[in-house]
Chain A
Amino acid sequence: MITLAVKVGMIQLCSCSGCHVSLLDLHDKLLEVLPNLEIVYAPIIADPKEIPEGIDVFLVEGGIRNEHDEHLIHEIREKSKIVIAWGSCAAFGGIPGLANLYTKEEILNTVYSTDSTENKGEIPSEEVPPLEEYVKPISDFVKVDYVIPGCPPTPEMIASAIVALLNGEEPKLPTKIVCDECPRKKENVFPEKFKRTYEGKPDPEKCLFEQGYTCLGFATRAGCGAKCPSAGVPCRGCFGKTDKSLDLGANAANVLANAGEAALEIPDKVALLNRFTLPAALINRKVK
């Protein structure tokens, strides 16, 4: 039974603010959820500048990219009862984690010497927090109590996790895979050859993977409602792995390897199989 408003903090670290927007995408239901929350810190939507003590639930969007992010995640942990990794960046590093395929120096050198840059090669250093060597999930730094995966998590998933916590219950995550939610028909055939997404027009009824598209639904946690395959494009794994698996990329590679030579021809395997999860993978960066 909900009695008191729960003190909530929200922050965006290395990410895009899409998880915050997904919470706002509860639309009319916001009017039911918000009165139960006392938002005491949330730079994206509110003005308080200091993180207060005694926060009940802190929703952390984004992974750790720079020294300021690292400082903040420790402060958040000290001041909060429950810390939630909110979305795939906080949980696994997310898309910004693709930066781990390069060194910090390569990133800086490229960004500050693009074709439109006038004074190429100068690197900002004044009043900007230095980058860490690599992007990391927040669980590399502090204990995380719960994970709400997704890029972004669906509004319903965020709301049900918040409601569960308000009622003193554990938020529940789906345990199945995207294929279990996907409406496309499977015939249990294995593709002999793989296609890139611009090739041809996929049959609208049949399993995209069985048609040769590199859909990763078989390795990805359910919860999205199989939105991407339903819209005609293959799953890219944005909800991360299920509890039973150790590593999304390794699992997916294992399945694709059944195709033998054909699998070797898939371009850019490392970023395909770890699109959202590289910083949390068994091999979490480029190894020279």
Chain B
Amino acid sequence: MGKIVIEPLSRLEGHGKVTITLDENGKPKDVKLHITALRGFEQFVVGRPAEEVPRIVPRICGICQTAHHLASVKAVDAAWGVEIPEPAKKLRELMHIGNMIHSHALHFYFLAAPDFVLGVDADPAIRNVIGVIDKAPEAAKQAIALRKYGQKIVEAIGGKAIHPVTGIPGGQAKQLKEEERDELLKDADQMIEYAKNGIELIKQINEQYMEQIKTLGVIDTWYLGLVKGGKHNFYDDTLRFLSPDGKEKVDFKPAEYLDYIGEHVVSHNYVKYPFYKKAGYPDGIYRVGPLAMLNVCDSMETPLAEEYRKEFFDIFGFPANQSLAYHHARLIELVEACEKAKILLEDNDITSDDIKAEVEPKAGNGVGVVYAPRGVLIHNYETDENGIVVKANMIVATTHNVPTMEKAIQQAAQEIFK
């Protein structure tokens, strides 16, 4: 009997380790994923005026801060019963799309691509983004341009590229100026082109690594995503579960999440294990993120991305259950995000000054949901009559995925030690 500890898990934004316990024959007997950090946001937002919370929770994640900012302000709007003006909704959606572009480019080119561009057997000392810059400078240049574009959108609307600040109960604190809009719009087509190049790159990678894609981390799970009128949506509307066989779809509204999602505490992980309540724990564990988003939707929201979605399922089958197909799915979403940015920038409402409704704090309970770059993100606050938070619950994107990541790592370990 022996034990292998992989720590720290690298090229991811949080803290984790994997322990593999081996039996007498050197085969993995027990494989566990441990998320080793706990900060306690659900406790320390209590006592804060609710309008301050969207300025606190972005620090849950420095990569998807915008998603936290927006899920949070949506939850406060809901708790206080506010309907925000249409232009403010569009501004928030565009800010969110900026974060999707930034984060998807970061995730693929900076965090995942080193394995594929440099090879899984490359020296760990060079298997990183600097290695990618050396080996594939053109792809790296386009990745940097996409990230820059996404962050520029977030900064123009949110005030800051990291930890934006303009979402306030009732709407937005900052209007987008026409010259800022023009500046962003002039690069929109170029970004769509760069994102399309990403699809060509992932298709080459898929061909090269198809054997690993078809064997490592292939698991059957439920899927959870966000749709609007059945279409893929980054920002709003309806949560949808899809069964592992792809036959059953369950739609519900964010405010009903407690009827559908439970969390199970396990002793070896600071992260709780979410599950689909009707299937129970552990049968109801599910995946979120790009793979789940593509699986649950009926179609993409924009034309190019929709073509790519169809091609994706021709390659992987439906529902796609290969964890390594996440990268391809993510790049399809990157195309959609770039297309959607252009649509929103061309909308006259985007520079409107009708961006803030009058608000009165009150006792209430509100849920805010967006699709963060790693998956569905849920913020839920209860406030007292002065609008002070008295109770909070958050299920963040990566949390949903932890049980299934563990399952995928277990499956991969069995394959690798075979």
Partner-B contacts on A (CB < 8 A): 12, 14-22, 24-25, 27-28, 30-31, 34, 39-40, 42-49, 65-66, 68, 94-96, 98-99, 101-102, 106-108, 110-112, 114-120, 122-129, 131, 151-152, 196-199, 201, 227-228, 230-233, 236, 238, 267-268, 271-272, 275
Collect the chain B residues with CB atoms within 8 Å of residue A199's CB: 359
Tell whether, in the assembled complex, residue A268 and residue B148 are in contact, meaning their CB atoms are under 8 Å apart: no
Query: How far, in angstroms, from A114 to B43 measured CA to CA in the complex?
Result: 10
Say how far A11's CB is from chain B's closest CB, in angstroms. Answer: 9
Nearest chain B residue, comparing its CB with the CB of A29: B144
CB distance from B33 to the nearest CB of A (A): 10
Contact with B261, one of A12, A42, A116, A231 (Cβ below 8 angstroms): A116
- Measured in the bound complex, the distance between the Cα atoms of B270 and A281 in whole Å is 28
Query: What 5 A-B pairs come out closest when comparing CB atoms?
Result: A18-B62, A231-B159, A107-B40, A232-B173, A47-B124
CB of B336 closer than 8 Å to a CB of A: no
Stretch at the interface among B50-58, B234-242, B292-300: B50-58
Known contacts A14-B37, A45-B111; is-contact A126 B268 (Cβ 8 Å): yes
Q: Which residues of B contact A (CB under 8 A)?
A: 6-15, 17, 19, 32, 34-40, 42-44, 46-49, 51-52, 55-56, 58-63, 65, 106, 110-111, 124-125, 127-130, 133, 144, 147-148, 151, 158-163, 165-166, 168-170, 173-174, 257-258, 261-270, 272, 274, 281, 356, 359, 361, 380, 386-388, 391-393, 395
Most central of A31, A47, A201 by chain B CB within 10 Å:
A47
Known: A43-B8, A46-B127, A267-B388. A21 touches B162 (CB 8 A): yes
Are A128 and B36 within 8 A (Cβ)? yes
Known: A98-B44, A118-B264. A46 touches B128 (CB 8 A): yes
With A94-B59, A128-B268, A231-B174 as contacts: A48 and B162 at CB distance below 8 Å: no
State whether A22 touches B267 (Cβ < 8 A).
Answer: no
Contact B59 A95 (CB under 8 A): yes
**Closest CB of chain A to B317's CB: distance in Å?**
32
Q: Select which of A44, A227, A230 is within 8 A of B10 by beta carbon.
A: A44
CB-based contact A44/B158 at 8 Å: no
Bound Cα distance A124, B7 (Å): 19
A-B pairs with CB below 8 Å: how many? Answer: 248
Measured CB to CB, the closest approach of chain B to A117, in angstroms, equals 5
Q: Report 10 cross-chain contacts, Cβ distance below 8 Å, ordered by A residue.
A: A17-B13, A20-B13, A44-B12, A66-B37, A107-B44, A112-B272, A118-B264, A128-B34, A227-B159, A232-B174
Chain A residues near B8 (CB, 8 Å)? Answer: 43, 49
Known: A19-B62, A127-B32, A233-B165; 13 extra A-B contacts, CB below 8 A, are A16-B60, A21-B106, A24-B110, A49-B6, A96-B40, A98-B44, A110-B46, A116-B263, A127-B36, A196-B387, A197-B168, A232-B166, A272-B52
Cα distance A16–B268 when bound, in Å? 22
Contact, CB under 8 Å: B61 / A49? no
Q: Note all chain B residues with C-beta closer than 8 A to A272.
A: 52
Q: Which residues of B sit under 8 angstroms from A120, Cβ to Cβ?
A: 265
Closest Cβ of chain A to B110, distance in Å, is 7
